[in-house]
Amino acid sequence: MKRLKYNRNLKNILNLLKQRLNYKRQLNRIIYVLAILVLLLLLKRLNNKISSNIIEIIDNSIHYKVNIKEDSKVIIDFSKRFLQLPEKALSVLNINEGSKYIPPIEGAIYNPFGEVKYLDGSSKYNNGIDIIPSGEKEAVAIDKGIVLSVEDKGSHGYYITIEHEDIISVYGYLINTYVDVGDEVIQGTKIGTLGTNKDGNKYLHFEIWEDGTAVNPSKYIKFNKRL
């Protein structure tokens, strides 16, 4: 009788230890997936080629983990959706702290707003700024709005005009466009690809209009220093 009772107690203890070990494994899996979520958000924030390659590796790893860890599938599916929604990641991790708008593209200002003087002595008034990209070659909407126009300006590429709550933004020198007139966009939506200028470089021409007047975009958005 005593031996039987002893065996039962031993079995109960082993079952309890087994359950605790299983809980610990589940907790470790959840922590692992949450770490992936944080890493994905940070990589999306960097928005460059290196981070894109790392994200691709993580995405492949996630697909593999789904097959071997069915019990964490729901959480992993949630993390995978971040790969498909970069604009929402951008709105969560907005680099322009305190600013309503995000940059149309990451890069440095090549031609500033206002009168621009050239080496040959000529000058031209720039209604916006020209930006040389540092990473991605796709322009994004600075805020939610409605596409007012998509114009083909020949050698200057496509120009997209978006109406926002208080201002109008214009994006030029695009070789491809992803939006049409009347489309609703949100902050961070990719709207077009930059074309190559005659000097071999890629630029984004960007304007902001307020009450019918062109204003300096740097008044609303923080850009990298001028080249």
Query: Which pLDDT band, with edges at 50, 70 and 90, does 41 fall under?
Result: low
In a domain, 192, yes or no: yes
Looking at the DSSP bridge assignments, the partners of residue 215 are: 208
Together in a domain, 115 and 58: no
Query: Which pLDDT band, with edges at 50, 70 and 90, does 81 fall under?
Result: very low
The predicted pLDDT at position 9 comes to 62
| CATH code of the domain covering residue 186 | 2.70.70.10
What number is the average pLDDT over the span 119-130? 90
Against a cut of 0.85, is the pTM above it?
no
Does 49 score more than 50 pLDDT? Answer: no
Does 148 score more than 70 pLDDT? Answer: yes
The predicted pLDDT at position 144 comes to 96
Together in a domain, 137 and 209: yes
Together in a domain, 48 and 113: no
Last residue of a domain, one of 52, 84, 116: 84
Together in a domain, 120 and 215: yes
In terms of residue numbers, what domain contains 190?
107-219
Together in a domain, 192 and 154: yes
The predicted pLDDT at position 52 comes to 53
Percentage of the chain with pLDDT > 70?
A: 58
Query: Which pLDDT band, with edges at 50, 70 and 90, does 213 fall under?
Result: very high
In a domain, 102, yes or no: no
The predicted pLDDT at position 59 comes to 55
Query: Which pLDDT band, with edges at 50, 70 and 90, does 66 fall under?
Result: very low
In a domain, 89, yes or no: no
Query: Which pLDDT band, with edges at 50, 70 and 90, does 212 fall under?
Result: very high
What Å distances lie between residue 162 and 111, 136, 138, 149, 186, CA to CA?
Answer: 22, 21, 16, 7, 11
In a domain, 226, yes or no: no
Together in a domain, 113 and 209: yes
147: which residues sit within 8 A by CB, 6+ positions away?
160, 161, 162, 179, 180, 181, 182, 183, 184, 185, 191
In a domain, 178, yes or no: yes
Together in a domain, 78 and 112: no
157/117: higher pLDDT: 157
Together in a domain, 61 and 133: no
The predicted pLDDT at position 54 comes to 54
In a domain, 47, yes or no: yes
In a domain, 99, yes or no: no
Together in a domain, 115 and 78: no
pLDDT tens digits, residue range 133-147?
987 789 999 999 999
In a domain, 101, yes or no: no
Together in a domain, 149 and 212: yes
Does 154 score more than 50 pLDDT? Answer: yes
Query: Which pLDDT band, with edges at 50, 70 and 90, does 56 fall under?
Result: low
Query: Which pLDDT band, with edges at 50, 70 and 90, does 160 fall under?
Result: very high
Domain count, the chain: 2
Together in a domain, 73 and 111: no
Does 21 score more than 50 pLDDT? Answer: yes
